[in-house]
Structure 1
Amino acid sequence: MDVRLDVFPSGRFAGWGKGLKLGVGLLLGATLSACGDPDWQGTDWTKNYQDSFETQISARASAMPGSTDGAYKPSADGTPNSPVAYHSPPMLSYEDRPLDENIAGSLELSDYVKAIQVAKLEPWISGPGPYTLFAIPNAAMERLSARWPGGLLAPANRGQLVHILGYTIAYGKWNEAALRRAIQRNHGHAIGLKTLYGDLLGVEVSPRTGELLLENAAGETNRLWGKSFPQSNGVLYFTQDALLPIPTVKVSAGRKHGHR
């Protein structure tokens, strides 16, 4: 299922906001260019979506899952032996910030964020979207990377890296409620979300636990870790493992009827 929304979907004054943003962007770009700072040269301020006038400002945030608490091992006599003993930093997802900013603030997604940068997929999750991101945590990324000689981030494996990460980015704004409604409309059967490179990512409700499960074309499944997190340009999920895209194989007429 492929759901696409307009680039500027919020409010009646989207056209006015776009024009105002363009004027302010050009003014800022000209001012900064005049300063001679090379770091600002070529910046396209008209696409600074995370601070756009179309983004509704919100103070709401939710704590993202992490495993830093479990990594801390107290000393035998009970005396603190690490700063973690005093404080485990919260990793917050802010509803008025885009996907790329929120995942960059998660220690649990540091490997995934690095992989997104290597694959050069940041423009998609930093733009207006909307996209639903099924981010892979560090432990799962490490297991996945070990399956490729030299690691998945090696230049020789860039094609596979881009395809795998593209399978974690689905078109549309799919929070839990939207997914369950779509599955219900499909008579309880799994639905398919169109991902960045056209592969379908299946989502179904587990008949045993009632939780949402991700599924590829080979029937392999992946569980979600916690709830969904609203973003200014979509929705963020944490997964518990990595799920690989499986190319859809067309079945010939002979095979379809059981002939060899």
Structure 2
Amino acid sequence: MNIVDTAVAAGQFNTLAAALDAADLIPTLKGDGPFTVFAPTDEAFAKLPAGTVESLLKPENRDQLITILTYHVVSGKVMAKDVVNLSEAKTLNGMDIAIKVIDGKVRINDATVVAADVATSNGVIHIVDTVILPN
């Protein structure tokens, strides 16, 4: 299964799936890739200030939503064993994310990777506990 179908089947990425749909990024992430996605769970989206998700899903905020979502995607298949050797990575939106290992846990900016190396047919998913927002 590709990244999108894997995330949908997992059942904990309903908000992410809705956001990808609103941003029209599903065809991209169903494409050949490979992609590495730092996927925020529904709980991660719920930690955003009230109304944030609803606002981002509005058509007039599509560009901002695309910027945020593509900030969670790195080109190529970067497994956890490789992520820990990086200090940063360039995302699909062209901005860098900071990568640190603190107390044995991988941190992507302010997010912690809670599950790594979820294999898909066109890349890999690392599950994060926080939505990563570009500065």
- With normalisation by structure 2, the TM-score equals 0.90
- Which residue is 2:23 aligned to? 119
The match for 1:163 is: 67
Identity %: 27
Query: 1:192 offset after TM fit, Å?
Result: 1.6
- The answer to whether the 8 A contact 1:167-1:196 is kept is yes
Match of residue 200, structure 1, among 96, 108, 111: 96
**Larger strand proportion, structure 1 or 2?**
2
Q: Distance in 1 between matches of 2:120 and 2:73?
A: 14
Q: Secondary structure at the match of 1:157?
A: helix
C-alpha displacement of 1:125? 1.1
Specify the structure having the higher radius of gyration (Cα): 1
Give the direction of change, closer, same or farther, for the CA distance of 1:239–1:171 in structure 2 (3 Å limit): same
Partner-residue secondary structure (3-state), 1:124: helix
- Aligned counterparts of 1:179 and 1:150: Cα–Cα separation in 2: 32
Residues 17-54 of structure 1: CA deviation (Å, up to 9, x unaligned): xxxxxxxxxxxxxxxxxxxxxxxxxxxxxxxxxxxxxx
Cα distance, 1:123 vs structure 2: 1.9
Distance 1:229 1:150 in 2: 28
2:113 is aligned, of 224, 230, 249, to 224
Extract unaligned runs of 5+ from structure 2. Answer: none
What is the deviation of 1:145?
Answer: 6.5
Deviation per CA, 1:132-153: give whole Å up to 9, x if none: 0111111221333735495221
With normalisation by structure 1, the TM-score equals: 0.49
Cα root mean square deviation, aligned: 1.8
Partners of 2:80 and 2:53 in 1: how far apart? 37
1:131-180 deviation line (CA, Å, top 9, x unaligned): 10111111221333735495221122222111111111111111111122
Q: Which residue of 2 aligns with 1:233?
A: 122
List, as ranges, runs of 4+ consecutive aligned residues in structure 1 with deviation greater than 3 Å. 147-150
Say if 2:45 and 2:53, in contact at 8 Å, map to a contact too: no
CA distance in 1, matches of 2:58, 2:97: 26
| Maintained 8 Å contact 1:145/1:153 | no
Aligned to 1:213: 107
Q: Which residue matches 2:132?
A: 243
Q: Distance in 2 between matches of 1:150 and 1:129?
A: 29
Match of 1:140 in 2: 44
Match of 1:53 in 2: none
> Which letter does structure 1 place at the counterpart of 2:105?
E
Q: Is the Cα–Cα contact under 8 Å of residues 22 and 59 in structure 2 kept in the other structure?
A: no
Matches within 5 A, 1:49-88: none
